[in-house]
Every structure is written in structure tokens, then in C-alpha cells.
Amino acid sequence: MQADIFAKKKRNTLAYLCLLGAVTMLAMVITEYNAVKGIASIPKAVQWGMANFYPTAESLEKLPVILEKMQETLLVSIAATTAAAVFALLFAIFGSNTTRINRFFGAVTRGIATVFRNIDVAAWALILLFSFGQSSLTGYFALFFGSFGFLTRAFTETIDEVSGGSVEALKATGAGYFSIIFQSVIPSSIPQIISWILFMIETNIRSATLIGLLTGSGIGFTFNLYYKSLAYDTASLVVIVIIAAILLIEFASNYVRKVIL
């Protein structure tokens, strides 16, 4: 009986591997992708990068403009994340099993959050392009909706995990709903909530760069502009600035995490 289970598991694994292989082959045939050629071109790509893709003294003149765009992207990401966090916290409180007002309302809130979570930020950007056109507002709302879905889920789990016991205890003392939220749920989950917000800001700065390409705004657009006009040195400077900004934010948020936890 037990041996049967193991044998079955092995057969399943094998079947999955074969299926995966077949799908890969099929995809390669359809797209006329040649694996050997693809791998062989890597050295050439590196060579090209070394020859063209580095900042020159000339491109440094563009630095102030680039930094300004970077700053815009950073601020849009932070603004979108923090605004999303406020709404996410509300939805998490109404959707969490520990703090929901009733079963029906909880399910509705969770449902809304699930819809938002399952649409990718890039998809949001494309959808919103229709309403807002190519502007930073599109980027802002795309990040806002994407973060809202993700943060609601993260906050809900945090609340359920940390505050179940103390919520029960305060209910038993006769405390009201809002007293319980502010005296037990929020103090218990605030470090994790801040940690998730920081994580989301980091992620959003990365996404913002890509979304900028779509929406024609921020640092992504700047990169696209220089790249398309064959100014590879300036484009590479943009990349370096992006990497530096991401590292800086990550460093800052790690520091904050260490202090609050």
C-alpha cells in the first residue's frame, strides 16, 4: 500500500517531466528558437555591452536630468504604496477572520482584494492607459492597484497570525470593536505591516521602471529615450542610477526593519 504511493508519486513526477519537455520543444518549434544559437550569442552580447554600454564623461552632463526623473519615479512609487497601504489595511481588517464584522462582508472584501491581486501591475498599466493616456498618473494608479491587492493579502495573514489570542481576550472583557482594533490588532501587527510596506516600495520602484516604458513617464521613459536614440552611454548611466537607487532603498528599509522588529 505504502510502496504503491511512492511508486505512484514517481510515475507522476516522470509524467510531469515528459510533459514539460514536450511543451518546451513545441514552443521552440513554433517560435523557431534555436537553443544552441541563443547560448552561443551570449558572449557576443557581453562583448557588445563592454564596448558600448558604459557611461562617458559626456553622458554625465545628463545626470541632473536623470536624477530628477529617478526622483519622480521614487516618489510616485512611495506615494502609490503608502496610499494603497491605507486602503489595504482597512480591507484586511474587514476581511480577516479574526476581525471581520460578519462572514458575508468578510468574503466580499476578500473577493475584491483577490481580483486586484490577480491582475499584474503591467496589466493594470495597459488597462489604465486607455483612461489616463501616457502620463505618470497611469503609472501611479497601476502601482496603486497592484500594491493594494498584494498588501491586503499580506496584512490579512499578518492580522490572523498575530492577534487572534488578544482579540479573543479583549472581546471577553466587553471591549468594543474599535477599541479592540486600536489596542490589540494594530499594536500587534504594526512591525509586520511596516515591513510589508517597505518590501512593496522596493518592488514598486523596480516595477515603476518597467511601467515607465509603457506609460512614457519616469525613469523608464528616460531610459527608452536615450536607448532608442542610440545614446548607449547615457542609457547605461540610467541603469546605474536605477541600480544605485534600488540598493539605497533596500539598505534604508533593512535598517528600518532592524530598528522596529
Partner 1 sequence: MKALLEVNHLTKQFGKDSKALTDVSFSVQEGEFVSIIGPSGAGKSTLLRCINRMIDATGGDIRFQDSQVMNLKKKELKQVRTKIGMIFQHYNLVNRLSVIENTLHGKLGTKSTLAGVLGLYSKEEKQQAVQILNVLGLNEMIYKRADQLSGGQKQRVGIARALIQNPRMLLCDEPIASLDPNSAKVIMDHLKKVSTTMGITVVVNLHQVDVAIKYSDRIIGINKGQVVYNGSAKGLTSEDIQRIYGSEADDLIFDIGGIHAG
DSSP state of 182: I
**CA 73 – CA 53 distance, rounded (Å):** 23
* Distance of closest approach, residue 157 Cβ to partner 1, in angstroms: 17
Q: Which region, judged by CB under 8 A, interacts with partner 1, from 29-37, 79-87, 100-108, 165-173?
A: 165-173
**Quick one: 166 exposed, middle or buried, by C-beta within 10 A (0-12, 13-18, 19+)?**
middle
DSSP state of 120: -
* Distance of closest approach, residue 107 Cβ to partner 1, in angstroms: 19
Nearer to partner 1, 109 or 163 (CB): 163
**CA 180 – CA 167 distance, rounded (Å):** 6
The single residue among 4, 176, 228, 259 that binds partner 1, judged by CB under 8 A, is 176
* Distance of closest approach, residue 110 Cβ to partner 1, in angstroms: 22
Residue 101 binds partner 1 (CB under 8 A): no
**Quick one: 11 exposed, middle or buried, by C-beta within 10 A (0-12, 13-18, 19+)?**
exposed
**CA 165 – CA 178 distance, rounded (Å):** 16
Residue with the three cell numbers 492577534: 163
Q: Which region, judged by CB under 8 A, interacts with partner 1, from 73-81, 98-106, 137-145, 175-183?
A: 175-183
Could you tell me the sign of the dihedral formed by the alpha carbons of 202, 204, 208, 209, in that order?
Answer: positive
The single residue among 68, 187, 240, 254 that binds partner 1, judged by CB under 8 A, is 187
> What size, in residues, is the chain?
261
Residue 172 binds partner 1 (CB under 8 A): yes
Residue 195 binds partner 1 (CB under 8 A): no
* Distance of closest approach, residue 191 Cβ to partner 1, in angstroms: 7
Helix residue spans in 53-175 (DSSP H): 57-60, 63-95, 103-118, 121-132, 136-172
Residue 179 binds partner 1 (CB under 8 A): yes
The single residue among 31, 102, 131, 173 that binds partner 1, judged by CB under 8 A, is 173
Residue 64 binds partner 1 (CB under 8 A): no
* Distance of closest approach, residue 183 Cβ to partner 1, in angstroms: 6
Nearer to partner 1, 21 or 165 (CB): 165
The single residue among 3, 6, 104, 174 that binds partner 1, judged by CB under 8 A, is 174
Could you tell me the sign of the dihedral formed by the alpha carbons of 15, 21, 24, 29, in that order?
Answer: negative
